[in-house]
Amino acid sequence: MSTLEQITDPLCYHGEGPVWSDSWGGLRWVDMLAGDLLTLRADGTVDRLNVGKVAAFVRPRTGGGYVVATERGIALAEGPDEAPASPRELWSDPGVRMNEGGCDPAGNLYAGSMPYDKTPGAAKLYRITPAGDVSVVLPSVTTSNGIDFSPDGTRAYYNDTQTGGTDVFDVVDGELTNRRLFHHGDGGRPDGLNVDSAGNVWVAMNRVGKVRLYSPEAEILTEVDLPLRLVTACTLGGADGRDLYITTSRENLEDPEPQAGAVFRLRADVPGKPVLPYAG
């Protein structure tokens, strides 16, 4: 892999959820607790769009536009740069907010929550179908974080950060089954994750300043060290899918590193798979 480079200023208080999609021109991510979507333009400038108090994650839609997770629900936009419509709330408890999510190959949206006070088991992982039907997939999680699927759709990888590890499910008839530990975080706090075209799993290790790469057999293939502690999420993109983009944070730090809140990039050996869109 190439040398790590910083590609934005430290723009974010809590940068999260990077996603590459040609539908909006490249890289988009969130400044979560500012409620902003950020888009990196071809000339290196960054646009911001506020969608409310919280912007937890964003995904493209198959018919155009995007879906964004707001504080307690989801909102749909018809165009790539349009503001979304009013959100649909999934719950009313003000002590719980959205945190991270993703889509499966069938176009369902998975949206995970977390309690502001991090009460164990007080959060859920929801599934929203293309028709808008909502169900609870996991009824008792704490900090629902990254979720992504293997290239063949037979596995789902998932981080509930408070467990200290990354879990894997078998996907049977579209359902997540047989949850088990994939790999422990070894002191890191598994945050966002991304599965590449070879089925390898990239996991952001919060608090220890790393991104770790696992093989499908849970072997540690490499680790990427960053010059800061709060590494939040990662995704693959770029013209050939081999640019690894990494978001960072300075949330609750009294002594943040100068680069905390910036986005970083390096070249990966294996390209990513296309982002899975929401079919709703």
Averaged pLDDT for residues 210-214: 97
Residue 201 is predicted with a pLDDT of: 98
Name residue, tokens 């539908």. Answer: 23
The reply, when asked if residue 191 is annotated as ligand binding, is: yes
Name the CATH architecture for the domain at 5-267.
6 Propeller (2.120)
120-141 confidence digits (pLDDT tens): 999 999 999 999 999 999 999 9
Averaged pLDDT for residues 58-62: 97
Averaged pLDDT for residues 189-194: 97
pLDDT higher than 70, residue 117: yes
Residue 46 is predicted with a pLDDT of: 97
Active site residue 191: yes
Averaged pLDDT for residues 156-178: 97
The reply, when asked if residue 16 is annotated as ligand binding, is: yes
Spell out where 79-230 has E strands: 88-89, 96-103, 109-115, 123-128, 134-141, 144-149, 155-160, 165-172, 175-184, 189-195, 201-206, 210-214, 220-225
SS3 24: helix
pLDDT higher than 80, residue 2: no
Instruction: Tell me if the pTM is above 0.85.
Output: yes
pLDDT higher than 90, residue 167: yes
59: closest CA among 104, 15, 14, 102?
102
Work out the pLDDT band at 1, boundaries 50, 70, 90: low
Asked whether the beta carbons of 234 and 204 are under 8 A apart, the reply is yes
Residue 107 is predicted with a pLDDT of: 97
Which one is catalytic: 148, 160, 191, 243?
Answer: 191
Rounded to the nearest 5 degrees, what angle is found at the Cα of 239, between the Cα atoms of 83 and 206?
A: 70
Percentage of the chain with pLDDT > 90?
98
The reply, when asked if residue 145 is annotated as ligand binding, is: yes
Average pLDDT, the chain: 96
Averaged pLDDT for residues 58-71: 97
